[in-house]
A and B are shown apart, each in its own frame.
Chain A
């Protein structure tokens, strides 16, 4: 096991635990902060997977913008606290656990069957230049389409949130 793998396992354990705490915490604000930890360790995983640009975007957009947005949402809905307010009944949670565990086992078995012995070879980090070229050459149409999506979302959020 080399240094890269050790680093990955540490990040994965931290990220996995934080992810679990996001969905089980009794306090919304804590949950949002655990989400920051989970998202940051995902950014670390991107670095190890030779995708530095995606990692930085993850930090800037996800940790920087989306979580802040969620924190605002929590603030404006008066940050409810407690198991009873945040969670469904015990029965629903047991059902949710069964579904979640089933999904995990199913995916792991499928993926293990297909890629059990495959390895990601060590490689240089993807140059941002290569990403840019692919984005503006092969994926120029989706890129433009996203601008329409963002415009629609912008207008939509204003229309929904304004008081008239």
Chain B
């Protein structure tokens, strides 16, 4: 017998495949491929059909997430772990995905304007979500890296795929800086591997618990990991890309980035730093706390001087990343830090998406402008909004007050729990800085409301065109507003659900 033929007669060791553990991811992948086929073979399918199919895929993934709710295990030889963080992040991400789908379905332009995202944006949205959901579940640095790249590559394309020059420019900046930061993250992963002998978070956790091990190298690796993660969640001093990218990107995609990337990014941040590297908390806490201070203050201070609402929301998202870093800094020693951060992500996702939805609505109001470089989002466009579009202005007020953290809206409770966890962890000084930053940020959130409610509209009101029919955007706005108010009125149920996320399975 030929030696090669002989070799093949040996039984191939088959991998253990735990289908149930990755069921929601599988649903997203299947839905993404189905949508690709629909786009390819039925080019005239309307955006409504594509959005409906996307929502069906998200619903299937959500159903499977609920089916898996009580599952707690490490699957695929330690590649993913199902625990509280995973299921909570999955639920939030799928809800964010549904809202983003509605925004994308509405499109960036009115009838007759050519610069809508192409239909491929729907499958890419699903792939990006798959990457995020996988990132939140990843318990091996290899999976962290690949999930991060899936979501990043999809987002680069979603950002750049319109004819607007500003969007293309945003895509290039996002891409170059994203690839640069990925290289640092990878170097950090390589050093962690060299220091601990594994890329698996559970084994890294074991190795860091060993006090005799040489820690210097591991610390260098942890530092580089922190650089990579801080970039992805747009924390100062790695925030430079955020305002440009959020301003240039089509509004639905910017909303999706602002909400979903933060959820997935902080989920993995918590799992790696508070979970696997919890043993080194004394070493990394000062770094994260310092980044938190800078992020909160720089974000809030620079938001004050912005004249463009999308850019202002970008700086506001930076300062919110700072509050979340307070939660991360607390999480290693105080389990409530984990649940407070997860709850914060839930409320923040809906507030910021709602704010971007109002931006999307208002950008449709002015006269059509085909030569515009970017979208219409200057603060000037909001003058007198309350008189012209009371509903939009009312919702804008809800989201701005929630982002400020005014009770009883959801944003207040989010900050309350994070600050409580910070104090419990002995980081009172950090919480004091956070409160100061909140006060600064109240200034620019409320300024938007002053412009919308108290200032007279500029120019001839007759020149303004109707926004056109906006059923999808209307539904999305209603849902985001409802959730922001409802979570604020009854936060107990959701914070209780977040508490179940406190135990991190490596």
Say if the two chains contact directly (CB < 8 Å): yes
A interface residues, Cβ below 8 angstroms from B:
106-107, 110-111, 113-115, 133, 136-142, 145-146, 148-149, 151-153, 155-157, 159-160, 164
A152 lies within 8 A of B153 (CB): yes
Q: Which applies to chain B's interface (DSSP): helix, strand, loop or mixed? A: helix
A140 lies within 8 A of B76 (CB): yes
Chain B residues closer than 8 Å to A133, beta-carbon distance: 13
A160 lies within 8 A of B214 (CB): no
A152 lies within 8 A of B220 (CB): no
A140 lies within 8 A of B36 (CB): no
B124 lies within 8 A of A145 (CB): no
**Segment at the A interface, from B156-164, B286-294, B378-386, B437-445:** B156-164
A155 lies within 8 A of B13 (CB): no
CB of B45 within 8 Å of the partner chain:
no
Interface size grouping (class) on chain B: 35 or more
* A141 touching B80 in the complex, CB below 8 Å, given contacts A114-B195, A156-B157: yes
A155 lies within 8 A of B146 (CB): no
A110 lies within 8 A of B13 (CB): no
Smallest CB-CB A-B distances: 7 pairs: A156-B157, A114-B217, A141-B76, A140-B15, A152-B127, A141-B79, A110-B220
B157 lies within 8 A of A159 (CB): yes
Q: How far is the CA of A115 from the CA of B171 in the complex (A)?
A: 40
B216 lies within 8 A of A159 (CB): no
Chain A residues closer than 8 Å to B470, beta-carbon distance: none
Interface positions, chain B 76-98, Cβ under 8 Å from A, are 76-77, 79-80
Q: How far is the CA of A143 from the CA of B446 in the complex (A)?
A: 49
Chain B residues closer than 8 Å to A159, beta-carbon distance: 118, 120, 124, 157, 161
The contact of A140 among B17, B32, B217, by CB within 8 Å, is B17
Q: List 13 A–B pairs whose Cβ atoms lie within 8 Å, in order of A's numbering.
A: A113-B217, A139-B77, A140-B17, A142-B140, A145-B134, A148-B29, A148-B127, A149-B150, A151-B32, A151-B36, A152-B124, A152-B128, A156-B124
B160 lies within 8 A of A145 (CB): no
Chain B residues closer than 8 Å to A107, beta-carbon distance: 220
Produce 1/0 per residue, B118-144, CB < 8 A to A.
Answer: 101001100110110010000010110
B160 lies within 8 A of A160 (CB): yes
Q: How far is the CA of A152 from the CA of B124 in the complex (A)?
A: 7
Q: How far is the CB of A10 from chain B (nearest CB, A)?
A: 24
Q: How far is the CB of A74 from chain B (nearest CB, A)?
A: 17
* A156 touching B153 in the complex, CB below 8 Å, given contacts A110-B217, A145-B146, A148-B29: yes
CB of B149 within 8 Å of the partner chain:
yes
Q: How far is the CB of B146 from chain A (nearest CB, A)?
A: 5
In this complex, what residue of B is CB-closest to A145?
B146
CB of B332 within 8 Å of the partner chain:
no
In this complex, what residue of A is CB-closest to B156?
A156
CB of B147 within 8 Å of the partner chain:
yes
Q: How far is the CA of A133 from the CA of B14 in the complex (A)?
A: 9
Q: How far is the CA of A152 from the CA of B79 in the complex (A)?
A: 21
